[in-house]
Amino acid sequence: MTRLSVNINKVATLRNARGENIPDVVKFAIDCERFGAQGITVHPRPDERHITRKDVADLRKVVTTEFNIEGYPTEDFMRLVLAAGPEQVTLVPDAPDALTSSAGWDVMANAGFLSAILDKLRNAGIRSSIFVDADPAQVREAARIGADRVELYTKPYADNYRINREQAVEPFVKASEEAKRLGIGLNAGHDLNLGNLAFFYRSLPQLNEVSIGHAIISDALYLGIEKTIHEYLGCLAD
C-alpha cells in the first residue's frame, strides 16, 4: 500500500499571515488523519515563515499516524528532530532561504556529511529518507551510506506529464527498480496532484509513500479537505 502523507506547511503560511491561530494547524492535522491521511509532513525552516518550532512540538503530541519532518540538517534542525522523535526525517538539500525544494541531493558529493546525519537518526530510532533526483546512481549511494529510504523529486515528472507521460515517468521507474533491488524504501513528492498521481502510482508498484502539500491545500479550497483527501486516496487505490 502506498501511504498518503499530507504536508501542512501551506496551512501554517495562511495562519501566519494574520499572526493568530486561524486556521489551527494542529486541528487541521488531526482532521487530515481523521479523513484518512496516513501521515503528516512538515518542513520547518529557520525563519519559521510557515511551520514553527512550537508547531513541531504541538504536532508531535497529537499525530497518531506517521510524523515526517523534512529539512536541511543544520545543527538546529537536528536538535529539533531529535527532541521531537518523529517516525521519519527526510533530508533535503535546500538552502535556508529557499522558496521550495528544487533538486535532490548529490549524495556522492555529500556522502560523508549525510552519513554522519544518518548515524544520528539511526541511533535515535528515526527512519531516514534522502531527497534525490530520479537517478539510480544517487539511489545506490543513498543505500550505501545507510539511508532507510529515498524520496524521489517528482517535479520533472509533473512538468512533462502532459507532453509524454510514459517518457516522463521512465526515469522514476528505473530509480524505483534500483531501490527495490537494493532493498531500500521508496517515497516520492513535489508537484504530484490529482491529474498525475494515479499514473505515477501505477507505474511504481513498490512506492511506499507520497508526500503532497501544495496541491492538496489548493484543491481543498474548492473541494474541502475531507473530499480532497478521499480523492487523493482514490488515486492510490488498486
Q: Which residues are catalytic?
A: 43, 70, 190
Pairing of strands 3-7, 209-212: parallel
| 85 DSSP β-pair partners | none
Residue 186 has phi, psi (to 5 degrees) of: -135, 120
Residue of 74, 129, 90 whose CA lies nearest to 9: 90
User: How many helices (H) and strands (E) are present in the chain, helices listed first?
Assistant: 11, 8
Give Rg (Cα) of the chain: 17
Give 196's DSSP letter.
T
Cell of 223: 473541494
CA distances from 208 to 162, 204, 218, 221 (A): 24, 9, 24, 27
Residue 204 has phi, psi (to 5 degrees) of: -125, 80
Residue of 56, 58, 133, 65 whose CA lies nearest to 93: 133
57 and 29 Cβ atoms separated by less than 8 Å: no
